[in-house]
Amino acid sequence: MVNDLNRREFLANLGMGAAALAMAPGSASAAASPAAIKPISGSWFEFQHHSTVEGVDWNPACVRFTTAQWQEKIREIAGAGMEYLVLMDTAVYYRSFYDSRIYPKWQLECADPMEAVLEAADQHKIKFFIGGGFYGDWTSPTTISDPVAQKQRLQSLEEVVRLYGHHPSFHGWYWPDEAALKPRFSPEFITYVNTLSRRARQLKPNAPIMIAPYGTRMVIPDDAYVRQLDAMDVDIVAYQDEVGVRKSKVTETSAFYEGLRKAHDRTQKAKLWADVEIFQFEGAVYKSALMPAPFERVLRQLEAVSPWVDEILVYQYQGMMNKPGSTAFAGCPASTRLYTDYQNWRKSRG
């Protein structure tokens, strides 16, 4: 998903770790049988997509969503069999989605969308990971080390716990200024994570912490990488499969996650989840609208990662899926097809 500037930088380095990721002979064929394909456990979630051109089909609808519509969307997602939602951010473009002392507030139809979705999530047993961003210029690769942005991020954690920490659905945290694995985490990213996690543990001691790095195809899951996993205060690493952004092919991803499984089994610390991209670009990558991918491709993506990960999240239900007839519709008409195809497959599993 983000940071787009870092992703473009990543494109220039695609080949760096490819050879090191080659698995043992036959491992690429170790895909799950149909009965073993894991269903989607959850999705990323947002009030406004950070890229206007990518979110053109759902951003305007979300601006107009009432409290009732936000709550209906949560009910709809729970009804689709999902347990987790990851709120991408509590602010973006120097405006917040709640009453904050950091930034002025987004002008949305719903006065308090965070309260609306968490209240509904309480009712429907959805577990939310709350994003600790975006503060400062999220498009800048130096944002994670910007002292002003870091102070604002820490302040935002305190504010959202004070306002929303009583909700049972406030399950955990997500640090959204994502890392580029080239082929490992940068020292700056580890500092960014541990600084936020230290304060988050004080505010909500039992709340799990998630990150979702990109550059999955470049990871070298060696001793040095395991040491980095041990050094970071996170409970879950949900690696992006990067099929939607055309950096990985479905035929490749099983081998990537197999290597990561071995690394995570060695650390015995952070759980290994997948962040599966269920979108495709209408035109050029990062310069056109996100559209739902065909279910046939999505199913192959789920199959590829299922043997190796604990849970599968997707980027993202919002915009890419809508229940037919939804009163909280956000996305293009094709989103009902992906929803229906996925639900038919899920129900066929018994």
Give the 3-state secondary structure of residue 152.
helix
Task: Tell me phi and psi for residue 213, to 5 degrees.
Answer: -70, 160
pLDDT per residue over 294-347, tens digit each? 999 999 999 999 999 999 999 999 999 999 999 999 999 999 999 999 999 999
Calpha distance 242→210 (Å, rounded): 18
In one-letter notation, the amino acid at residue 103 is Y
Number of domains forming the structure of the chain = 1
In a domain, 98, yes or no: yes
Please give the pLDDT value at position 268: 80
Residue 60: which CATH number?
3.20.20.80
How far is residue 344 from each of residues 301, 308, 338, measured CA to CA in Å? 17, 24, 10
DSSP for 297-338?
Answer: HHHHHHHHHTTT-SEEEEE-HHHH---TT-TT--B-TTHHHH
Task: Give the chain's length.
Answer: 350
Please give the pLDDT value at position 295.
98
End-to-end CA separation in angstroms for the chain: 33
pTM of the model: 0.90
Q: For residue 27, is it within any domain?
A: no
Q: Is there a domain that residue 262 lies in?
A: yes
On the question of pLDDT at 150 being above 90, the answer is yes
Domain coverage including residue 297 = 4-17+36-348
On the question of a cis peptide bond just before residue 316, with omega within 30 degrees of 0, the verdict is yes
pLDDT of residue 18: 34
Q: Does a structural domain hold residue 78?
A: yes
81 - beta bridge partners? none
**In a domain? residue 266:** yes
Given a cut of 50, whether residue 275 has pLDDT beyond it is: yes
3-state SS string for 208-243 = CEEECCECHHHCCCCHHHHHHHHHCCCCEEEEECCC
Q: How far apart, in whole angstroms, are the C-alpha atoms of residue 51 and residue 59?
A: 9
Query: 269: which residues sit within 8 A by CB, 6+ positions away?
Result: 229, 230
Inside any domain, residue 22: no
In a domain, 45, yes or no: yes
Confirm whether 326 is domain-assigned.
yes
In DSSP terms, which residues pair with 272 in a beta bridge? 237
66-103 per-position pLDDT tens digit:
999 999 999 999 999 999 999 999 999 999 999 999 99
The residue among 112, 103, 3, 94 whose CA lies nearest residue 47 is 112
